[in-house]
Amino acid sequence: MLTRTVLAASAAALLASATGVSAAAASTDLHPARPAAAPAALKPCAEKTLTVKAAPSGQDHVLRLSVKNHSSRACLVERVPLVTYGDLDGAAVPFPLSGSSTYKLDAGKTAHAAVRSLSASGDSDTRSVGYIEVAANPEHHGKKFTAASLSESGGLRVWSPVTTLWQPTRALADEALAESDGAGVLKV
């Protein structure tokens, strides 16, 4: 009987370490007729459950982005919003530099980012585009925002764009963008 108790306690500890549940809570669920349920893994957000927005910030060449999860469950978006400018190659560079990872977006919650489209050093090489597209995941089509809808009737000027990672508040997104040097070159 002692062996069975030790094995049950070991199983509870393993379950607790794998699921983040306390060992005491896990050991109460080790009844042979009622196995412990594993927590559901978070899945990528379905595009139809998200609302993506872009809006002027009041600062030159800076836009505020947001993504809201309208589903009843938490899901995952890419840590870096995918922001592309018209038919130009490439996307806004993340600040701080970030590898591929995800951001948990709880049910009913909104994440925020900020994007600066123009670096001070690129004035002579600036391009102008009629729209941007913003997506929360690379697999999504994204949402198109015209220059006119973003209060840029002459087109969106772009050179070395920088975007923040998704943040829980608009203030944190603004703060993260302010940490870049504003010239499209990331601080090291």
* 162 within 8 A of 120, measured Cβ to Cβ: no
User: Mean pLDDT across the stretch 51-68?
Assistant: 94
Q: Which of 13-17, 33-37, 45-49, 52-56 has the lowest mean pLDDT?
A: 13-17
pLDDT for residue 58: 87
* 158 within 8 A of 85, measured Cβ to Cβ: yes
On whether residue 90 sits in a domain, the answer given is: yes
Which CATH number belongs to the domain containing residue 71 in this structure?
A: 2.60.40
Domain of 27 in residue numbering reads as 1-37
- Judgement on whether residues 57 and 32 belong to the same structural domain of the protein: no
Task: Using the predicted structure, report yes or no on whether residue 70 has a pLDDT greater than 70.
Answer: yes
- Judgement on whether residues 79 and 138 belong to the same structural domain of the protein: yes
- Judgement on whether residues 57 and 2 belong to the same structural domain of the protein: no
Helix (H) or strand (E) holding 55: strand 50-56
- Judgement on whether residues 87 and 16 belong to the same structural domain of the protein: no
When pLDDT is cut at 50, 70 and 90, the band that residue 147 belongs to is: very high
State how far the Cα of 52 lies from the Cα of 143, in Å rounded to an integer. Answer: 7
* 63 within 8 A of 92, measured Cβ to Cβ: no
- Judgement on whether residues 101 and 120 belong to the same structural domain of the protein: yes
Q: Which two tokens stand for residue 63?
A: 């836009």
- Judgement on whether residues 52 and 90 belong to the same structural domain of the protein: yes
- Judgement on whether residues 126 and 55 belong to the same structural domain of the protein: yes
Number of structural domains (the chain) is: 2
When pLDDT is cut at 50, 70 and 90, the band that residue 181 belongs to is: low
State how far the Cα of 133 lies from the Cα of 156, in Å rounded to an integer. Answer: 12
- Judgement on whether residues 11 and 64 belong to the same structural domain of the protein: no
Residue range 6-38, pLDDT digits in tens: 333 333 333 333 334 333 343 333 333 444 444
pLDDT for residue 118: 81
The larger pLDDT score, comparing residue 110 to residue 183, is at 110
Task: Using the predicted structure, report yes or no on whether residue 179 has a pLDDT greater than 70.
Answer: yes
SS3 assignment, position 159? strand
State how far the Cα of 38 lies from the Cα of 21, in Å rounded to an integer. Answer: 10
- DSSP assignment of 78-131, as one string? ESS-EEEETT-SS-PEEES---S-EEEE-TT-EEEEEEE-B-GGGGGG-EEESE
When pLDDT is cut at 50, 70 and 90, the band that residue 148 belongs to is: very high
On whether residue 144 sits in a domain, the answer given is: yes
- Judgement on whether residues 78 and 106 belong to the same structural domain of the protein: yes
Task: Using the predicted structure, report yes or no on whether residue 51 has a pLDDT greater than 60.
Answer: yes
On whether residue 89 sits in a domain, the answer given is: yes
Report the Cα–Cα distance between both ends of the chain, in Å, rounded.
61
On whether residue 184 sits in a domain, the answer given is: no
On whether residue 65 sits in a domain, the answer given is: yes
Task: Using the predicted structure, report yes or no on whether residue 149 has a pLDDT greater than 60.
Answer: yes
Residue range 88-138, pLDDT digits in tens: 988 999 988 877 899 999 999 999 999 999 865 555 678 899 999 999 999
- Judgement on whether residues 110 and 171 belong to the same structural domain of the protein: yes
For 73, residues 6+ apart whose C-beta sits below 8 A from its C-beta are: 107
